[in-house]
Amino acid sequence: MSELSVKHLLGIKYLNKSDIQLIFETADHFKEVINRSIKKVPSLRDITIANIFFENSTRTKLSFELAEKRLSADVINFSAGQSSVKKGETLIDTVNNILSMKVDMVVMRHPNPGAGIFLSKHVNAAIVNAGDGAHEHPTQALLDSYSIRERFGVVAGKNIVIVGDILHSRVALSNIFALKLQGANVKVCGPKTLMPKYIESLGVTVETDLRKALEWCDVANMLRVQNERMDISYFPTTREYAQQFGVNKALLNSLDKEITIMHPGPINRGVEITSDVADSDQSIILNQVENGVAIRMAVIYLLASKIK
Amino acid sequence: MNILLKSAKIIDAGNSNLHLKIRDIWIKNGKIEKISKKIVPNAQTKIVDNKNLHVSRGWLDTGVSFGEPGYEDRETIKNGLLTAAKSGFTDIILNPDTHPVPDSSSDIIFLKNAAKDSATTLYPLGALTVKSESVDLSELFDMQNSGAVGFYDYKKPVSNSNLLKIALQYAQNFDGLIFSYPLDKNIAGKGIVNEGPVSTKLGLKGMPAMAEELQIARDLFVLQYTGGKLHIPTISTANSVKLIADAKKKKLDVTCSVAIHNLVYTDDKLESFDSKYKVKPPLRGKADIKALISGLKTGVIDFITTDHRPMNIEYKELEFDNAFYGTLGLESAFGVLNKIFDTETAIALLIKGRKRFNITDIEIKEGANVSLTLFDPTYVSEFKKENITSSSKNSMFLDEELKGKVIGIVTKDALLIN
């Protein structure tokens, strides 16, 4: 039986093509499971998972928790707001304390890039990165690619544009790594102020004209403008941002083809995309959310099988 | 004191009579008594006859941090100076990287006193501004009279151009040396590593090379207007080297230094998110390293420094963003430099800087005050944690192969043999 090449899921850049293939095939199975009347399998009855969130999250946390419960794992939740982290405890101490309670796997979201990698070197548990600063958000990229695969049958050869705040986005980075690994063509689009100067070194091209980008693509992945990560103002107003980089239905209708719209959520309606786009048939935003659970079940299942 | 260095090969390019010659050197009462092909010791003489014994003028580091007062858990002055001595440095210039910072004459006197029983001599830098807050100038004249050899707000840029102007003008009356840390704070933003493909891939906040260069360009403009003596510590980019080269062509009185680790490692090292590589200025690219090495060879860059900064594990072994800046440097300095350059060049760099900092020059000749470093340039070893004398162990050179080892130092007060 095939298995993942890694012990942890720290980022897409540490995976190979067959890992992604394996995760997708496993997710296919779990997607069928979560659409049954009994949505649960007993696979991980002997596994305990800690969801450790040092940053606010609603959907990612829920999605992980649901995935873990659907696999019958024991789950504990911990978030920084209610913890000793605020009292000055270090990350290693916090996690080791939790692990002393016999936890097998840690799903962690953290504001610092590389926090999961750091942790994986210092504690004895499988680590799943649920977002580390502006570094990676691997399960998001996996579910995005999985949703593209579901829509088109393949990812290879598809034209994907990622629109918005590339500078502060772990979703953009993980998506770029995942899409390139699977042979898709990737452009990034957004204001220059939110575009890392060296982004093309990752094998993508920069397009600052949204219409041109949309005309080129099969899929537009619209990122949220992350005001909370910005230390200064990178554009004058969200109104002006929306004028240049927001997608509305009129713009979509004026294109020669029907493109697919994705969004990792939560949506700022009226900024990145208007409501009529978010709620249209072209949008697969809610499919992404459903696929998120299947993908996370697959990741956790495959990593747990390496613990055993 | 009665010491005989037996069959020592003298590396002293500034002295053609003795350079590369093998001689016995007899040291008595803090002075070089005799240099000759064969000296017969008397019964009281301590003989140093290590294998492959080489000797040079004592080494100087133009920028070292310890911690005392305030951060004694990082390093004390006494143990810091012992580390320096074991690393071959007879003299070190101490960064004002303490809490509180030395911004008065009595602070400088405290540092000098704390150092006075050590083999290595400590030359303190005073804080340029009161509490290093970049608002009001400290009492520079008074500090200089007490032994400060320059004025520096440690790793803090002088962001207010007028403050730099006033400092450079004011210090001219007493020939004071003003440090300006090369960083435009606004351009650097929250950047913590070099901006480039690596920072992009890792999602770490990058600071563009331009943040350093812009500040240097400004410094040089101000210097051209004011006159005075300016030192720019720890430059790290290729364009910075160009800017300094141009300024020197214009005869501006500017010197600069480079940290040894910036000559060795690129930001590729960050891929592991290992905070031992977190330094300020950050590790840069290959082209920068090439330009920095060439800058040292041509003399555009005046001095090397280890930029030694002991940091206790609680502040270092953290998520990369939260870890403190800095690496140890003293103990690996020779073994690293001696790999980048041939031994003669490495030694030439290690003895440079005394004149700039108004430190009495030294010579290898009969009758001179003794200040010598003893070393073996060919001995190869691996740099291990257990060999570190410093109280902190945050070296980015751990487990690296070093070429050459320090045998010891002889200064006018002490002989220290490893």
* Chain A positions in Cβ-Cβ contact with residue B195 (cut-off 8 Å): 197-198
Q: Are B137 and B107 in contact (CB under 8 A)?
A: no
Burial of residue B389, with CB atoms counted within 10 A of its CB: 0-12 exposed, 13-18 middle, 19 or more buried: middle
Q: What is the CATH number of the domain that holds B10?
A: 2.30.40.10
Does one domain contain both B77 and B124? yes
Rounded to two decimals, the pTM is: 0.94
Residue contact B321–A113, C-beta within 8 A: yes
Say if B108 falls within a structural domain: yes
Residue A138 preceded by cis peptide, ω within 30: no
Does one domain contain both B69 and B209? yes
- Is pLDDT at A253 greater than 60 in this prediction? yes
Residue range A117-134, pLDDT digits in tens: 999 999 889 999 999 999
Residue B81 domain boundaries: 63-350
pLDDT at position B285: 98
pLDDT at position A56: 86
* Chain A positions in Cβ-Cβ contact with residue B188 (cut-off 8 Å): none
**Considering its fold, how many domains does chain B have in total?**
2
**Residues on A contacting B at a C-beta cutoff of 8 Å:** 13, 90-92, 110-115, 117-118, 132-136, 170, 173, 196-199, 201-202, 231-232
Residue contact B201–A136, C-beta within 8 A: no
Strands (E), A67-192: 74-79, 105-110, 126-132, 159-163, 185-189
Residue contact B202–A112, C-beta within 8 A: no
Closest partner residue to B273 (CB to CB) among A90, A91, A117 is A117
pLDDT at position A82: 52
Say if B398 falls within a structural domain: no
Does one domain contain both B116 and B246? yes
| B184 DSSP β-pair partners | none
DSSP letter, residue B322: T
Average pLDDT, chain A: 93
Q: Give the percent of chain A with pLDDT over 90.
A: 82
Residue range B191-248, pLDDT digits in tens: 999 999 999 999 999 999 999 999 999 999 999 999 999 999 999 999 999 999 999 9
Q: In this predicted model, which residue has the larger pLDDT, A101 or B112?
A: B112
Residue range A51-86, pLDDT digits in tens: 999 988 889 999 999 999 999 999 999 887 655 566
Does one domain contain both B158 and B302? yes
Which residue ranges of chain B lie beneath pLDDT 50?
Answer: none
Shortest alpha-carbon distance between residue B159 and chain A (Å)? 19
- Is pLDDT at A303 greater than 90 in this prediction? yes
pLDDT at position A231: 60
pLDDT band at A229; cut points 50, 70, 90: low
Does one domain contain both B228 and B248? yes
Does one domain contain both B139 and B275? yes
Residue contact A170–B190, C-beta within 8 A: no
CA distance linking residue B277 with residue B203, whole number of Å? 16
Say if B385 falls within a structural domain: no
Q: Is the ipTM of this complex over 0.85?
A: yes
Does one domain contain both B159 and B67? yes
* Chain B positions in Cβ-Cβ contact with residue A203 (cut-off 8 Å): none
Residue range A6-56, pLDDT digits in tens: 999 999 999 999 999 999 999 999 999 999 999 999 999 999 999 999 988
CA distance linking residue B370 with residue B25, whole number of Å? 10
Active site residues of B: 307
Does one domain contain both B317 and B369? no
The helix/strand/coil state of B318 is coil
Say if B356 falls within a structural domain: no
Residue contact B273–A118, C-beta within 8 A: yes
